[in-house]
């Protein structure tokens, strides 16, 4: 009995210690972020806005009981079911939507963080329907399994806009429209850039490329790999040596690159399908005694990547990454535009793609053309990086 | 190595009956399969001042898994169950270390706090996680899988909480040493970490009675209690050790990528650790164990991964190949298969001896 009591006390102490550990580290975040750079203040503001939005959501849920909530064009009530907060990219996406649909702009945003679980999102959507929101914005965790809940939204006459990731439903009319990244176009643009770059440098020899793929089956992986494979087919001097998944992580990217370097000693270009994989690849290349950069004529290995996170662009600025193609998380403004059009009674395309740019510190290519459309390359400077929110 | 010494002293039969024989054969088979496609698989060179080669990759990349496998073996032996939270605990340890070193920033190029403080704090937190698991399993008698499921689920959430949901980068050379190389030393540092853990574990198990006690408790916890062993305490200790080692593995993994990626550090590594224990010829039901077997199992798993990269297996088929090889190895080591193989061998030896007898009579 005595032992049991002692052990109980110990566990409580342990739990308390763990909580205290977490608590103190967050506290230290708060203190340093007030003292330090723009990057952390932006996180601080996003947490602040999160707090604000929870406050508003409780406020509106009480208000919605009073059924006479006026919904004019500006006073729209919007429910946003977000995947979670698993990456900087996602955090930037959430912040963008929250900033756009802020109370100052005349909107009421009900925000739900599903913590990567579909059942949480389904519950959130049902809540939104009960609270009679005007629009539901859904960033789905998975592609499938949405038929029932979207039917409920349709029956309640609430338009659903799917953002970022897409849904796979039997009946397309279950959602109003969708907006996302065109991953195939991202791949096409990156390859068009490589083509233009090689032309600008007068390189006509064989170019050996390795592809560190994303998580197999992810839409970003499928589109970006497809873009590269198509380009390799179209260019007789492009030689795709190998493609293996790095699962979108730095650790795997490094491991895969280590293996590539041992198999092939003639790699010219690394096509990493996200920034994290590129970081790992760069470490592996450096560890093998080779150098990264755009001078592929003299044995440097060029790294091309996607996403354009702040960390990625920092590496792009010093030339370790030669091209970083953006995957834009800032859906807020575009969503606002779309909702405005829907309010005006217009019909939108089922699928809209968000504008995405490309970044390089190398200025030998200023624009690329993919199927008739010109895409400019943003010349990278420190101020470009500082001006970005993620 | 063990083969050559064994051959000189023992008969072939004794060799095949050694507990580690099958795990070693499996590891060698996986490694040798590379010679078909990559003849220079075993080539080791000095490149850029450090050792370079596939074999080095295998030994280097398996380090975290070896560290985890040591802890997992002890937990399995004592409690007859597995700790599935080790991957998540790795993420927690990495998050704590990086967050302390960065002082709350998302990315840092200077240590905000002393390195030692971060390491100690990370290890303490990981050990506390082990204590929680141990308490649930040993004191509350909850099934290990269920008890450790709590941290398996919550661990990454805790790590996210610590890092504010961001990937925290510590871009300081000193932090990367544990995951890369000690200055001037050509052998990757993670190998030393794994080696140190293995040696310390081995010495403790051999020089103290802990190893024996763990086996006793694992074989029959009640009987162990009757002969005066505190089985609750011993189970608890194994989980604490396992948590601590998960912390060490987390630090190594985090140093490799000089960041705390709460979603991906140690992802699915708990399953590999359990597999390593099984491949090493240990019973997952507890009892007698061989640490060396688990370590060989861990290297086998990494050898397999590296081999599949070297074979250039396309990514969508990678898991299938891995599964097929693992199934073959497991079947190869299963008691039923071994009995059958033994029977096959006996029949083969029995027939010629009978013929010889007949010849003698005539």
- List, for residues B91-104, the tens digit of each pLDDT value: 999 999 999 999 98
Q: What is the pLDDT of residue A68?
A: 36
For tokens 């007698």, the residue is B288
Cα A182 from Cα A309, distance rounded (Å): 17
Provide mean pLDDT across the span A337-356. Answer: 92
Is 80 exceeded by the pLDDT of residue A173?
yes
Radius of gyration of chain B (CA): 23
Which among A351, A354, A358, A350 has a CA at the least distance from the CA of A375? A358
Predicted structure pTM score: 0.81
Is 90 exceeded by the pLDDT of residue A56?
no
Q: What is the pLDDT of residue B77?
A: 96
Is 70 exceeded by the pLDDT of residue B41?
yes
C-beta atoms of A242 and B312 within 8 A = yes
3-state SS assignment for residue A200:
helix
- Helix and strand element counts for chain B (H, E): 18, 5
In this predicted structure, which of A98-107, A216-225, B7-16, B319-328 has the lowest mean pLDDT?
Answer: B7-16
C-beta atoms of B132 and A244 within 8 A = no
CA torsion angle for A221, A224, A225, A227 (degrees, to 10)?
A: 160
DSSP, residue by residue, A241-276: EEEEE-TT-HHHHHHHHHHHHHH-S---EEEESSHH
Which among B50, B192, B309, B107 has a CA at the least distance from the CA of A252? B309
- All residues of chain B having their beta carbon less than 8 Å from the beta carbon of residue A259 are 54, 57, 306, 309-310
C-beta atoms of A243 and B314 within 8 A = yes
Cα B137 from Cα B232, distance rounded (Å): 9
Which among B89, B129, B134 has a CA at the least distance from the CA of B235? B134
Is 60 exceeded by the pLDDT of residue B202?
yes
Provide mean pLDDT across the span B309-324. Answer: 87
Q: What is the pLDDT of residue A15?
A: 55
- Cβ–Cβ under 8 Å, residues B294 and B284: no
- pLDDT bucket at A32, cuts 50 / 70 / 90: very low
Q: How far is CA B157 from CA A116, A215, B239, B255, B272, in A?
A: 11, 22, 21, 21, 21
How far from chain centre, in Å, is Cα B212?
21
Q: What is the pLDDT of residue B362?
A: 39
Output the average pLDDT for chain A: 83
Is 90 exceeded by the pLDDT of residue A114?
no
Is 60 exceeded by the pLDDT of residue A215?
yes
CB atoms within 10 A of CB A38: 9
Q: What is the pLDDT of residue B350?
A: 56
Q: Write out pLDDT tens, residues A122-151.
A: 999 999 999 999 999 999 988 889 999 999
Provide mean pLDDT across the span A52-56. Answer: 41
Q: What are phi and psi for residue A265, nearest 5 degrees?
A: -105, 15
C-beta atoms of A250 and B316 within 8 A = no
CB atoms within 10 A of CB B277: 31
Which among A336, A330, A334 has a CA at the least distance from the CA of A105? A336
Nearest to A251 among B99, B135, B253 (CB): B253
Show the domains of chain A with their CATH numbers: 37-175 (3.40.50.2300), 183-328+356-387 (3.40.50.2300)
**What is the nearest CA distance from B259 to chain A, expressed in angstroms?**
9
- pLDDT bucket at A357, cuts 50 / 70 / 90: very high
Q: What is the pLDDT of residue A49?
A: 42
For tokens 């739900």, the residue is A112
The interface pTM score, or ipTM, of the predicted complex is 0.86
Provide mean pLDDT across the span B318-347. Answer: 84
Cα A235 from Cα A256, distance rounded (Å): 25
3-state SS assignment for residue A182:
coil
For tokens 């590379």, the residue is B34
Provide mean pLDDT across the span B171-193. Answer: 94
In this predicted structure, which of A7-16, A238-247, A364-373 has the lowest mean pLDDT?
Answer: A7-16
- All residues of chain A having their beta carbon less than 8 Å from the beta carbon of residue B305 are 255
Q: What is the pLDDT of residue A8?
A: 62
- All residues of chain A having their beta carbon less than 8 Å from the beta carbon of residue B316 are 216-217
Provide mean pLDDT across the span A223-251. Answer: 94
Q: What is the pLDDT of residue B37?
A: 86
Output the average pLDDT for chain B: 89
Among A16, A23, A29, which would you mutate to test the B interface (most chain B Cβ atoms within 10 Å of its Cβ)?
Answer: A29
Cα B72 from Cα B76, distance rounded (Å): 6
- All residues of chain B having their beta carbon less than 8 Å from the beta carbon of residue A311 are 107, 167, 169
C-beta atoms of B257 and A17 within 8 A = no
C-beta atoms of B135 and A7 within 8 A = yes
Cα B329 from Cα B283, distance rounded (Å): 15
Q: What is the pLDDT of residue A89?
A: 81
DSSP state letter for A346: P
Cβ–Cβ pairs < 8 A, chains A and B: 136
Nearest to A91 among B125, B165, B315 (CB): B165
Q: What are phi and psi for residue B327, nearest 5 degrees?
A: -60, -45
CA torsion angle for B299, B171, A315, A303 (degrees, to 10)?
A: -10
- All residues of chain B having their beta carbon less than 8 Å from the beta carbon of residue A244 are 309, 312, 314-315, 318
DSSP state letter for B181: B
For tokens 């059942």, the residue is A119
C-beta atoms of B128 and A18 within 8 A = yes
- All residues of chain A having their beta carbon less than 8 Å from the beta carbon of residue B112 are 32
CB atoms within 10 A of CB A35: 9
Q: Assess A38–B contact: CB distance below 8 Å, yes or no.
A: no
Cα B215 from Cα B233, distance rounded (Å): 14
Cα B87 from Cα B278, distance rounded (Å): 18
Q: What is the pLDDT of residue A230?
A: 96
Q: In the structure encoding, which two tokens stand for residue B171, read together?
A: 């871009």
Residues in chain A: 390
- pLDDT bucket at A42, cuts 50 / 70 / 90: very low
For tokens 């992810």, the residue is A218
C-beta atoms of A29 and B52 within 8 A = no
Q: Assess A17–B contact: CB distance below 8 Å, yes or no.
A: yes
Q: What is the pLDDT of residue A218?
A: 82
- All residues of chain A having their beta carbon less than 8 Å from the beta carbon of residue B54 are 259, 262
Cα B115 from Cα B95, distance rounded (Å): 14
Interface of A with B in 127-186 (CB under 8 A): none
Q: What are phi and psi for residue A138, nearest 5 degrees?
A: -125, 125
- pLDDT bucket at A113, cuts 50 / 70 / 90: confident
Q: What is the pLDDT of residue B6?
A: 45
C-beta atoms of B104 and A263 within 8 A = no
Q: Write out pLDDT tens, residues B240-284.
A: 999 999 999 999 999 999 999 888 899 889 999 999 999 998 989
Among B106, B121, B230, B268, which would you mutate to test the A interface (most chain A Cβ atoms within 10 Å of its Cβ)?
Answer: B106
DSSP, residue by residue, B112-176: SS-HHHHHHHHHHHHHHHHHHHHIIIIIT---HHHHHHHHHHHHHHHHHHHTTTS-EEE--HHHH
Q: What is the pLDDT of residue B357?
A: 46
Is 90 exceeded by the pLDDT of residue B47?
no
Q: What are phi and psi for residue A273, nearest 5 degrees?
A: -85, 0
Q: What is the pLDDT of residue B313?
A: 87
- Cβ–Cβ under 8 Å, residues B291 and B73: yes
- pLDDT bucket at B322, cuts 50 / 70 / 90: confident
- pLDDT bucket at B341, cuts 50 / 70 / 90: confident
**What is the nearest CA distance from A344 to chain B, expressed in angstroms?**
38
Q: What is the pLDDT of residue A205?
A: 93
Which residues lie below 8 Å from residue B40, measured CB to CB, with a gap of 6+?
none
C-beta atoms of A21 and B96 within 8 A = yes
Q: What are phi and psi for residue A209, nearest 5 degrees?
A: -120, 140
- All residues of chain A having their beta carbon less than 8 Å from the beta carbon of residue B57 are 255, 258-259, 262
Considering chain A, what percentage of its residues have pLDDT values greater than 90? 67
Considering chain B, what percentage of its residues have pLDDT values greater than 70? 92
Which residues lie below 8 Å from residue B56, measured CB to CB, with a gap of 6+?
B44, B188
Provide mean pLDDT across the span B183-200. Answer: 95
Q: Assess A262–B contact: CB distance below 8 Å, yes or no.
A: yes
C-beta atoms of B257 and A115 within 8 A = no
């Amino acid at each position: 009995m005595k032992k049991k009591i002692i052990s109980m006390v110990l566990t409580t102490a342990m739990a308390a210690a763990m909580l205290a550990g977490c608590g103190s580290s967050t506290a230290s975040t708060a203190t340093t972020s007030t003292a330090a750079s723009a990057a952390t203040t932006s996180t601080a503001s996003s947490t602040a806005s999160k707090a604000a939005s929870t406050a508003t959501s409780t406020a509106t849920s009480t208000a919605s009981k009073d059924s006479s909530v006026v919904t004019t064009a500006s006073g729209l009530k919007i429910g946003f079911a977000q995947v979670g907060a698993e990456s900087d990219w996602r955090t930037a996406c959430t912040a963008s939507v929250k900033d756009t649909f802020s109370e100052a702009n005349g909107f009421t945003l009900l925000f739900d963080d599903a913590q990567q679980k579909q059942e949480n999102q389904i519950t959130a959507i049902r809540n939104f329907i009960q609270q009679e929101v005007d629009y539901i914005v859904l960033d789905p965790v998975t592609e499938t399994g949405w038929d029932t809940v979207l039917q409920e939204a349709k029956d309640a006459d609430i338009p659903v806009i799917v953002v970022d990731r897409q849904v796979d439903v039997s009946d397309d009319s279950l959602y109003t429209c969708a907006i996302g990244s065109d991953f195939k176009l991202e791949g096409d643009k990156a390859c068009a850039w490589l083509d233009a770059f090689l032309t600008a440098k007068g390189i006509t020899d064989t170019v050996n490329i390795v592809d560190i793929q994303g998580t197999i089956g992810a839409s970003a992986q499928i589109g970006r790999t497809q873009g590269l494979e198509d380009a390799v087919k179209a260019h007789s001097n492009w030689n795709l040596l190998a493609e293996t998944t790095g699962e979108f992580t730095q650790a795997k990217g490094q491991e895969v690159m280590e293996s590539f370097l041992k198999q092939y000693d003639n790699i010219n270009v690394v096509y990493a399908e996200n920034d994290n994989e590129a970081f790992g690849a760069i470490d592996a290349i450096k560890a093998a005694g080779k150098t990264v950069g755009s001078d592929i004529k003299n044995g440097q290995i060029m790294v091309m990547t996607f996403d354009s996170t702040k960390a990625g662009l920092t590496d792009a600025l010093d030339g370790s990454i030669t091209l970083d193609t953006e995957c834009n998380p800032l859906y807020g403004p575009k969503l606002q535009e779309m909702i405005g059009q829907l309010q005006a009674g217009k019909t939108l395309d089922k699928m809209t793609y968000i504008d995405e740019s490309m970044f390089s510190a190398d200025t030998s290519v200023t624009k690329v053309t993919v199927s008739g459309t010109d895409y400019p390359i943003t010349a990278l400077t420190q101020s470009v990086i500082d001006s970005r929110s993620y | 190595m063990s083969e050559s010494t064994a051959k000189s002293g023992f008969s072939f039969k004794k060799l095949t009956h050694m507990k580690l024989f099958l795990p070693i054969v499996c590891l060698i088979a996986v490694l040798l399969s590379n010679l078909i496609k990559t003849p220079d698989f075993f080539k080791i060179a000095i490149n850029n001042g450090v050792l370079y080669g596939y074999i080095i990759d295998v030994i280097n990349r398996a380090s975290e898994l070896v560290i985890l496998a040591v802890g997992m073996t002890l937990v399995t032996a004592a409690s007859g169950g597995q700790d599935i939270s080790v991957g998540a605990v790795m993420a927690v340890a990495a998050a704590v270390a990086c967050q302390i070193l960065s002082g709350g920033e998302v990315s840092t190029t200077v240590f905000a706090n002393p390195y030692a403080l971060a390491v100690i704090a990370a290890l303490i937190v990981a050990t506390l996680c082990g204590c929680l698991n141990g308490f649930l399993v040993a004191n509350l008698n909850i099934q290990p899988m269920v008890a450790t499921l709590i941290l398996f689920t919550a661990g990454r959430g805790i790590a996210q909480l610590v890092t504010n949901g961001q990937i925290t980068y510590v871009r300081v050379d000193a932090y990367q040493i544990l995951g890369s190389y000690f200055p001037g030393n050509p052998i990757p540092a993670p190998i030393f970490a794994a080696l140190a853990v293995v040696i310390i574990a081995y010495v403790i198990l051999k020089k103290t009675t802990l190893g024996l006690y763990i086996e006793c408790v694992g074989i029959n916890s009640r009987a162990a209690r009757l002969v005066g062993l505190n089985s609750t305490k011993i189970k608890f200790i194994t989980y604490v050790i396992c948590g601590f080692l998960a912390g060490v593995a987390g630090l190594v993994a985090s140093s490799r990528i000089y960041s705390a990626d709460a979603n991906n550090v140690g992802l699915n590594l708990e399953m590999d650790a359990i597999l390593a224990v099984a491949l090493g010829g240990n019973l997952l039901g507890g009892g007698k164990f061989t640490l060396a077997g688990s370590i060989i199992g861990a290297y086998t798993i990494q050898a397999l991964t590296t081999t599949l990269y070297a074979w250039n297996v396309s990514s969508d088929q990678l898991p299938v190949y891995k599964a097929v090889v693992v199934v073959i190895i497991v079947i190869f080591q299963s008691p039923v298969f071994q009995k059958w193989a033994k029977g096959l061998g006996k029949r083969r030896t029995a027939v010629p001896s009978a013929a010889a007898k007949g010849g003698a009579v005539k």
